[in-house]
Chain A
Amino acid sequence: MLTLTPYEAIDQALAEEMRRDPTVLMFGEGVATKRRALSDEFGGQRVRNTPLAEAIIAGTAVGAAATGLRPVVDLLFAPFLCYAMDAIVNSAGKLRYVSGGQFAFPLVTLAMTGGGWGVGAQHNHNVEAWFVHSPGLKVVMPSDAADFKGLLKTAIRDDNPVLFFVDLGLLHTPGEVPAGEFTVPLGQAAVRREGDDVTLVAYGKSVAACQQAARTLAEQGRAAEVIDLRTLKPLDEATILASVRKTGRLVLVHEASRPCGVGAEIAALVAEQAHDALKAPIVRVTGPDAPAPASFVLEQAFTPQADAIVAAVQRLLG
């Protein structure tokens, strides 16, 4: 095992995939400046700085992906994706289907989001559900260093456009990463903790909040199962449904705002397919329908915390 931060894990994944496949390249705002080791190893053709122009960064990645390259682009902060939506949603997500299957778009878009740095609403906006709602795309949001590496390697090898969201609050938290070659499949959730009383489903740094809540609940004699989605699309429905059939109770946790979020989709899925197993109403613990604040105190209030999850479970269990 190695101990790496997710930032380092991302670097390792990029370097390994660029060594493995000469068609992998990376570009974005400051990529060549900040990922110096990559730029030194692979040179200016494959590691490129770009203008501060997200629409053309994304468009260029989409055009290159359709004609033989496997680009990884760093759009920095998730709200900047707004400038890149046409290329990602209308071109990468649709032109395979629209063309009757003539093109594929193997590309990865990296974007950071989430509370923890006090960067405010135009740098912190958990927009991942927008892309879940758009056809033709895959959406990944890891919660630990090993998954950052393993999922990014798989995303780079996937023949579809993958949105890879990086939770800012996790970026410099070291974690264990297996040494040597390994990958993590897309579309496969991880059961982080087993339990029979309630299922907690989360992704990104909300997984840690659920883990902390589960430890508190254990002290109270309550066994919570914690599911880390890891991939938001395709969604691992089977793991979620199996857990809810076992526990009969479901709490959905994410930092993204509640309306039409990933939690809403999972709640609907469970209502449709495992209603008979439910012993209590489904509960969502999410960020509010508000822009993210900058002040640390407000940011903490905005972000789902372990005590709120514990309180939700206690209400469910009576």
Chain B
Amino acid sequence: MKPTHPYSDPVDQLARMLLVRAYEDRIAALAAAGPFPASCPSAGQEAAAVGVVSALGADDLILTNHRSAGHLLARGADPGRLLAEVMGRETGYCRGRSGSLHISAKELGVVLTSTIVGGELSLAPGVALARSLLGRPGIVTCFFGDGAACEGIFHESINLASVWNLPVLFVCENNEWQAYVHRRETMLTDSIAAHAAAYGVEGRSVDGNDVAAVHAAALAAAAQVRASGRPFLLEARTYRARGHLEPDDQSHVDAGELAHWQARDPIALARERLIAAGQLDLDGFARLGAEARARIDAAVEFAVQSPYPDPAELLANVYA
């Protein structure tokens, strides 16, 4: 089920977005039903994740953060192994040592995931430096949020990547929320892409809920990074449709704001566009959704049936 990269078929992209949504919906349901490990949902941000990841090549590396399910699934991660990781099972991508918050999958090129806000930004230039000095192909894509853009390390990272000519595609998923604080309270400007100019880097904002727009912008940005060997800052303007951490009733979120963004749901936008273009009908859409949910059913079953790690291996891999 691992897609080839890049993938530009809009129906494939919609199917991938539906898989992310089905995954997040299932985790929300499990979290609402009772004790379940904490996770930070990416629902509402599917177009940003799929739009960017589908634009990357097989040799490109991805650094992500605690809100990573969209990036991992867009890259072709097995939802069973993701859920197993969330549930602390040995079959998870990190053998149950990570849980949901810092899942890396080196085999997919998703490396060094950090849940410290801005942590991934501190690591990305070094990953790009290694690729450059070792003559390996591919660029480095680093996903972070508007919260991380308020950390000093964002500015240090983009500055160093610029000064050292490192092939890093910085992707800010500006989802309007920084844990429990709205972006309005923390920034006076609206655009994070505008920061790029201060470091001699090109920046661009794109509608992060329009998967086609994100994909086109990411393809262009990645091509520029590849050709120039220099960083680029792409900002996807999107919205965190669920709370910071499941479960969350979002009682602190303005109802008007939620309604505004629900009307701009990235999956509904993609569906309407494909139907209008005659590339999909309602039955086809229903079928894609049912397939995604069936995959998640099987993934939950796999995770639940998977063994827990052996406590005798508590101390494995502290040191190399």
Task: Point out residues on A near B: beta carbons under 8 Å.
Answer: 23, 25, 45-46, 48, 50-51, 53, 55-56, 58-69, 71, 86-87, 90-91, 95-106, 135-136, 138, 159-160
Contact = CB atoms under 8 A, between A and B. Distances in A.
21 contacts: A25-B133, A56-B159, A58-B122, A59-B156, A60-B129, A62-B112, A63-B63, A63-B122, A64-B126, A64-B130, A66-B123, A86-B116, A87-B119, A90-B114, A91-B112, A91-B114, A96-B320, A97-B317, A99-B98, A99-B104, A99-B106
A60 to B, nearest CB: 4
Given A51-B156, A101-B316, A159-B320, A87 B122 contact: yes
A138 B319 CA distance: 9
B270 to A, nearest CB: 33
A49 to B, nearest CB: 10
B159 A51 contact: yes
A63 B126 contact: yes
Given A51-B159, A101-B316, A136-B319, A63 B94 contact: no
A68 B126 contact: no
B209 interface: no
A138 B126 CA distance: 21
Contact of A63 (B92, B112, B113, B136): B112
B127 A66 contact: yes
Max chain B Cβ within 10 angstroms of own Cβ: one of A53, A59, A90: A59
Nearest to B127: A63
Which of B118, B127, B152, B159 has most A Cβ within 10 Å? B127
Contact of B93 (A53, A58, A100, A159): A100
- Top-9 shortest CB links A-B: A63-B126, A59-B122, A100-B95, A63-B123, A64-B126, A56-B156, A101-B317, A159-B320, A60-B126
Contacts of B116: 86, 90-91
B119 A90 contact: yes
A148 B116 CA distance: 34
B131 A62 contact: no
Contacts of A55: 122, 152-153, 156
A135 B125 contact: no
Contacts of B316: 101
Contacts, number: 152
A291 to B, nearest CB: 24
Contacts of B121: 59
Contacts of A136: 318-319
A21 to B, nearest CB: 13
Interface of B: 61, 63, 92-98, 102, 104-106, 111-114, 116, 118-119, 121-131, 133-134, 136, 152-153, 156-157, 159-160, 163-164, 316-320
A218 to B, nearest CB: 40
Contacts of A48: 164
A66 to B, nearest CB: 6
Contacts of B122: 55-56, 58-60, 62-63, 86-87, 91
A103 B110 CA distance: 12
Contacts of A58: 122
B95 A101 contact: yes
A99 B94 contact: yes
A99 B163 CA distance: 31
A62 B126 contact: yes
B130 A63 contact: yes
A103 B104 contact: yes
Contacts of B129: 60, 63-64, 69
A91 B94 contact: no
Contacts of A71: 126
A97 B315 CA distance: 8
B153 A91 contact: no
Given A60-B125, A101-B316, 15 more contacts: A51-B156, A62-B112, A62-B122, A63-B63, A67-B126, A67-B130, A68-B130, A87-B123, A91-B122, A97-B317, A97-B318, A98-B94, A98-B97, A135-B318, A160-B319
A280 B129 CA distance: 55
